Structure 1
């Protein structure tokens, strides 16, 4: 049997001196090739869970496996198995897209020829070829999002984590980014996505987990959850399961 993309088993975690987010004996599996959405109110623990799955945060108990490999003790090997597109821009503003991709490609273990080939390919696909040598600091928000995305996929990772990948972009850029992500998934990349753009999520995600207070309140195919809870969209499902009160 092929390993799961992600397997979290009896995982516990809490921040030192902070009890607002505390995972206790948490379990979750994500299949290879899935388009998986992780949703919840502000403070529910979504970004924390992303950081745990990518090894950016160490958990206290239990286990997390990425493609059958334990995160603990294998962080260097594990880091090559995924790409991470964070909500905050994660590149050097004073460098050009090509220079950023050269740096992060080398950091990911690619050789010079691989970096050159992937840089040309990605800048063309993401509409950045004409500005490949211009400093990123002068780019629009949508162009910076595309640079962020290119960096995350430079090494062709089998798993891609996406934390608000289209926040602050125009409709055309959002459409182009989502289409590119769907193409990656069609070619086998597992997508693990979180966002407040719930209409976008309906187009992207096959299976979803809704979490609140670091606990799963629903986990199934999106179509099955909508039918079960008699909702016609993800926003209605979200509100029916997590409430309508303000969240900090």
Structure 2
């Protein structure tokens, strides 16, 4: 894989998809339908998916592609592939809360090694560079990358006073119980893969997810966090979260800055 080209293509496609999403988001109204699992889908999901999938297939025809909105891609058995969630946080999009993202990642041998997370309504763009390190690019965003700065996890998190980020739409009693085993300085909430990015920038130290997610929900944010020095592990045994699992479904997991001393629930 030519990582410089991959970085350029993923960034370009995420920005183009974000522009299409915002065009629909800013309209007076848009259609919302329910998929077979009762999760919402909009024309923005579908338009962004078509744009990204076409771009990736043209640029990398020999790399397998998995995307949330194309069910025919979900039956593959893969260890190296591109994976896309064209609009993560559809509930946030529908409620016009802004916490939604475009996510594109490259998984190699079961690990997400490159990724881009773009939050168009918030004007935040995070991605891994060709060398695998993570940056945040400052807007406005153009065809060529603008000013970027390296991002990194909090190097010295204090277990007596952690900043914890949790889901806006999927918070539950089990998550609260787990968080309660730590010393928490403060908590924040965010939708979609932005939670990974808040840990990656040091704005949070710990993000536990005790609920159902799919690999396309997490791969890009996982890649950005890894490139910033963070880790994502399974909740049950604290081994690294792997990708290419049957059906692309994740177990519960914990994303964190490595200095956090994880507790066993």
**TM-score under structure 2 normalisation?**
0.27
In our comparison, the structure showing a higher alpha carbon Rg is 1
**TM-score under structure 1 normalisation?**
0.29
Q: Which has the higher contact order (CA 8 A, sep 6+)?
A: 1
Answer 1 or 2: which has greater helix percent: 1
